[in-house]
Amino acid sequence: MDIIEIQMALIDEDKDQPRYQFDEEALTELMQSIDELGLLSPIKVRTGSDGRYKIIYGNRRYKASQMLGRTTIPCIVSNVTDEMEIYLEQIAENLTREGFSPIEEAEAFDKLMNDTRFRSSIKFLSAKLGKPESYIKNKCELLKFSNAVKKLIVSGTEIRKNKLTEDQLIPLKDLPIEHRDPIALIAARDELPVTDVKKIAKLFKDKTISESTKEKLLLKTGSGLIETWSVYEQNRKERAKPPAEPKSGAKPAQHNESTNQASFSQAAAQEKGSHSTVGKNAESITDLLQLMKSGLPKQAEITNTITQMIVTGAHGGQALFPHEIEEVINQLEKLTIAWKNLHDHSLHNGI
């Protein structure tokens, strides 16, 4: 493989190459390195028309040498003309270099699969570039995001303010764009770790939460969304709990509202006559405990309703409304008083 010095003035950059983002600070560092140590690796060019050359790879080294005022640069000259072969070589070379951004990779893969000049498959690219198919698919998912988000995407896994890693974005890829992009920007602004982004994505994938509620949630900060997720998750676990099994021989309590209200009414009536009947037999205490137990499902419903009100900021569409909650609480207070009366009377009479 021959390396020859070619006049800088005879070399053209390839504007169609996969790498086009050049960090100015990194470019300056490269220029200083070349100035001190020389160019350690030649660039690769292909022959063109009129005795000119076009860069296959090495654009950064070419730019840094230009900044230094160099008149020649060491080159490897290729006679390859196949566009597919050249583009694959450009990608393969850039994959080994620092600074090749995830978006540049994604756009290169997408171009190879969808440009009419190439029309490659993921399987073909995987074999040619030595990358798993899942790696290529995940990179292409980044193209779903808007330009505002794409500009923030950087290589690596370090969480930085106003920057986004691929790991932060992948959990959001299946959300509709009206949720996907705002959450991504919140994650960048508030430096959300990947675990938090996954929790927020789960929240927005829940179809039981209305679109209007989700729009309101997008006004929250990252920490506010995580707090909401915690309440949501607690509420979900409560709903998933199986109902308590009745004791042996006891009839299962009916958990509908009418039965519970009837139980509360019965307890209220029992409270009025508790002083006259409690001393007759100890079964009154058992009966009252059963009534109090029948109220437990309604208490759980109150808890779930209040929790849901915290998440949504409203009580519309819930099983209980505020006035119903107050009524149930009043009945529970009456049951508590009846229990205390029974208990005190039992102790007084040695039952």
Between the two ends of the chain, the Cα-to-Cα distance in Å is: 105
Nearest in space to 201 (alpha carbons), one of 187, 189, 213: 187
CA dihedral 311, 314, 318, 319 (to 10 degrees): 100
What is the model's pLDDT at position 239?
78
Enter the pTM of the model.
Answer: 0.61
> What is the per-residue pLDDT across 87-143, written as a single tens digit (0 to 9) for each?
999 999 989 887 789 999 999 999 999 998 888 999 999 999 999 999 999 999 999
Share of the chain above pLDDT 90, in %: 53
The pLDDT of residue 319 is 45
DSSP 4-35: EEEEGGGEE--TTSS-----HHHHHHHHHHHH
d(CA 275, CA 201): 58
Per-residue buried b or exposed e for 75-112, using 16+ beta carbons within 10 Å of the residue's own CB: bbbbeeeeeeebbbbbbebbeeeebbbbbbbbbbbebb
Residue 339: pLDDT band with limits 50, 70, 90: low
Predicted local distance difference test score (pLDDT) of residue 245: 67
Convert the pLDDT of each residue in 50-81 to its tens digit: 889 999 999 999 999 999 999 999 999 998 88
Residue 284's pLDDT band, with cuts at 50, 70 and 90, is low
Give the contacts of 104 (CB within 8 A, at least 6 positions apart). 18, 19, 20, 21, 94
Q: Is the pLDDT of residue 328 over 70?
A: no
* pLDDT of 327 over the 90 cut: no
Higher confidence at residue 319 or residue 25?
A: 25
Does the structure show a pLDDT above 90 at 351?
Answer: no
Per the prediction, the chain carries an average pLDDT of 81
Encode pLDDT of 217-231 as tens digits.
999 999 999 999 999
Does residue 287 or residue 257 have the better pLDDT? 287
* Burial class of residue 281 (count of CB atoms within 10 Å of its CB; 0-12, 13-18, 19+): exposed
